Copies of this chain bind each other. A is one copy, B any other.
Amino acid sequence: MRTIERVRSHVAEINDLLCAVNLLTWDARTQMPPQGAAARGKQLATLSKVARERLLSRELVGALQEARAESASAEEADELDQLADALELLQRLPDGLVEALAEHRSVAQAAWERARADDDMAAFTPALEHMLELQQRLAQAIGYREHPYDALVGLYEPGMTAARLQDLFGALRGGILPLLEGIRASDVVADRRFLQRDYPEGAQRDAALHFARLIGYDLGRGRLDVSAHPFEISFTRDDVRITTRFRRDYLPMSLFGTLHEAGHALYEQGVDPAYVRTVFTTDVPGLYAVAGSSYGTHESQSRLWENLVGRSRPFWRAHFGALRDHFAEQLADVDAEAFYRAVNHVEPSLIRVEADEVTYNLHIMLRVEIEMALLDGSLSVRDLPEAWNAGVEATLGLEVPDDARGCLQDIHWSTGLFGSFPTYTIGNVMSAQWLEAARAQEPAITPALERGDTAPLRAWLQENVYRHGRRYSPDALLTRATGRGLAPEPYLNYLDGKYRELYDL
């Protein structure tokens, strides 16, 4: 056996272990009986620990060194270099810190749940302070040049830094805030009451599956379940599952939620079969089996299918009839244009996950700037609620009535996901770059989309994004396909074009 094959066989088994972690996670959120949680926590911890041990084992590290010294094709050299870099990052995380984080995560999450339920920020403060301390130690262990945030955001979005984010945010605010001002001054108001009629769950499920299949989700390699917080998760490209939630009195929840998760799923289902069980479908430092290049790249696909396609006028002009087939009575007096306008209503609100396309990124920028300040010590946890409320007032023009609807609304900080928020906005920005490049490079895409045919767009994404898995960094993938790195213009153009028309600006 060539040495590289020995390396690959190690990686394949580690990928198997991480796919098992994913299945245990999926099951815990969708199927597990209530009292199974404690044992499941131990099983997950053990599987992750075993995967980590095997990644850092002398056998793998030794074989990798040997293989890199042997002659290899350019692609093989890429594969080995990428694994070496990832292992080098993983090695920088001390055992003790990894365990302390895992342990504190469940404590902090429980404290956060109680604090949010009781609107009692003080009950979360000590746990958050300790989590912050652990995150600062994590940033130190990883290392960074300018800002501790660089170390953390890089775990989710390799190559991203606090400085790059600040530039990006400046440009986004420069486009979004004037647009929002215009919308708030506009007297256009879409009727949205019909979205809140009675939509039985069975029909919602059928409709959600119809639209997921329509954009290309392969149910022979996937399935749809219900969970409190919708997600997509994969155990190789041949088993990629999505979840949704149903609100009987609010149709968009399951419909756009499913398009969002199906967008993630297209990425995972589309990876080159040759990359299955390789480093190109394994997030080594994250101990996570995933085909997407980064969190932001992944999010660019969910957002593209949910928003740029799924909330577009031509999509509903073509497919509103199919939706009405599922809800003949509820949508009897509604047409495609009214539906399009209703699901694109813009209005500043307190809760991130309920925000529209225009205000959504303002929520993210607030969180990212706060977590940067917490991390570099310029903001203390004690002063967090005040900073949060001031930020909401300044950008969204809203008064925060309580911390439960303020700085306690997201689970992320309690679970130690410092540095992951930016990837939502990066995904939004990137989604418009893909669509712009696809339209420019493949002239058939625009007329196809105009008649509701998404297949040519999907084919372009398959060729330029999905099949590559984690072979390229997000910047490299973007540059390879669109000619440049992350840039806000296409996204701002998209927002401007869409919402100035909708709001007569």
Contacts and interface: CB of A to CB of B under 8 A. Distances in A.
Main secondary structure of the interface of A (DSSP, over half): helix
A277 B40 CA distance: 12
B23 A27 contact: yes
Interface string A9-47: 000110011011001100100011111101110110111
Interface in A233-283: 235-236, 238-239, 241, 276-277
A239 B33 CA distance: 7
A329 to B, nearest CB: 25
A235 B277 contact: no
Interface stretch (A73-81, A180-188, A214-222): A214-222
Given A23-B24, A24-B23, A221 B17 contact: no
Given A235-B40, A239-B40, A221 B35 contact: yes
Contact of A238 (B35, B49, B50): B35
A7 to B, nearest CB: 16
B222 A43 contact: no
A282 to B, nearest CB: 13
Interface in A391-416: none
A222 B32 CA distance: 8
B27 A43 contact: no
Nearest to A14: B46
Contacts of A47: 16-17, 20
Contacts of A277: 39, 42
A223 interface: yes
B16 A46 contact: yes
Contacts of A42: 12, 16, 277
Contacts of A19: 39, 43
Contact of A219 (B17, B27, B33): B33
B36 A221 contact: yes
A32, A220, A238: most-surrounded residue (chain B CB, <10 A): A238
A13, A23, A24, A277: most-surrounded residue (chain B CB, <10 A): A23
5 contacts: A20-B20, A34-B220, A36-B235, A40-B239, A50-B50
